[in-house]
Amino acid sequence: MARAAETTEGARIDWQEWIGRVYQGDCLDLMASLPGESIDLVLTDPPYGLNYNNGDLASVWEEALGHGPAGPARPIAGDGRDDWVQNLPLWMEQFARVLVKGGCCCCCCCGGGPSPIFAEMTLAMDAAMQFKQAIVWDKGGLGMGWHYRRSYEFMLVAQKPGAACKWYGDNRQSNVVRIPKIIPSAVQHPTEKPVRLMEQFILLHSRPGDLILEPFAGSGSTLEAAERLGRRWIAAEIDPMWAEKAQTRAERARLSRPLPLLSAASGTRTGRGGNGEATGSLW
Ligand SMILES: C[S@@+](CC[C@H](N)C(=O)[O-])C[C@H]1O[C@@H](n2cnc3c(N)ncnc32)[C@H](O)[C@@H]1O
């Protein structure tokens, strides 16, 4: 069911209570509760509107490619074409509204065809924000499909109109990143993204302590990446099972993050240098 951007639920959510916790529900409700210009980076992996793994796509491809009998379908919420078409512009509008000036939106997007989803997502993003780049994520190896088998996806990058989006990288970053994909087991999220992929964009567009929005948490890859790099996060996930798993994963990552050292000389916290530093980010 498609949702309007002005939800009544949003008004009832105290958004600050959800920093560092996964809101189980529709991200439009959580986003409606966020004040304008409250988020430093939107880093997200939404459904692609492909009816992924609904029994007529992924599992059938797998069988056809000789990978054994089709497994049980594990559909992704919000991935039906009609809802997706209606919701996509609403999601993008909210991303644009909540980003600070100079804030950046990095959005995973499928590559190739047969449907031109990448074009639809790019145009929706550009209508709400200012499109900047389509980064090719070279996933390595051959994926599903016929004739041209899928080996890449995009990370679409846009900025809030009015200011160039913040950049904390050097001048040697390509618009192709090569990071091996995850081939999910039956207990993993069917479209789990590598933590390294999410870390890459966190490092380029945010600083420790910044607040990251991930409205489609899934199993929590973005949240783990944020925790590892000392960023704050706020997230939604509509599927109760994945919301719980994402929360647990983020908490584990938080607990395994090295504590900043207290410098005896200066009384200040110290940590690793560079933009991945864990300094002063106890939030
Ligand atoms: C592509 S998956 C994210 C996978 C994640 N990056 C990972 O590594 O596990 C998209 C997720 O968005 C969730 N979702 C779909 N519609 C939603 C909505 N309106 N609000 C919140 N979550 C939603 C789905 O349940 C799904 O887990």
Q: What is the pLDDT of residue 6?
A: 55
Whether the predicted pLDDT of 283 surpasses 70: no
pLDDT, average across residues 46-70 = 63
CATH number of the domain residue 89 falls in: 3.40.50.150
Residue 278 lies in a domain: no
Residue 240 lies in a domain: yes
Most ligand 1 atoms within 8 A of CB, residue of 237, 241, 247 to mutate: 237
pLDDT, average across residues 98-109 = 98
Question: For the chain, how many structural domains are there in total?
Answer: 1
Q: What is the pLDDT of residue 1?
A: 46
Residue 250 lies in a domain: yes
Residue 275 lies in a domain: no
Residue with tokens 């200040």: 268
For the chain, report the end-to-end CA distance as a whole number of angstroms.
Answer: 36
Residue 149 lies in a domain: yes
Residue 2 lies in a domain: no
Most ligand 1 atoms within 8 A of CB, residue of 28, 216, 244 to mutate: 216
Residue 281 lies in a domain: no
2 pocket-lining for ligand 1 (C-beta < 6 Å)? no
> Domain of 152?
8-270
User: Going by CA atoms, what residue is nearest to atom 13 of ligand 1?
Assistant: 216
Condensed to tens digits (0 to 9), the pLDDT of residues 179-230 reads 999 988 888 998 999 999 999 999 999 999 999 999 999 999 999 999 999 9
Starting at the edge strand found earlier in the chain, the sheet holding 176-178 runs: 22-24, 232-237, 211-214, 39-44, 99-110, 152-159, 130-138, 176-178
190 pocket-lining for ligand 1 (C-beta < 6 Å)? no
Strand partners, 157: 106, 133
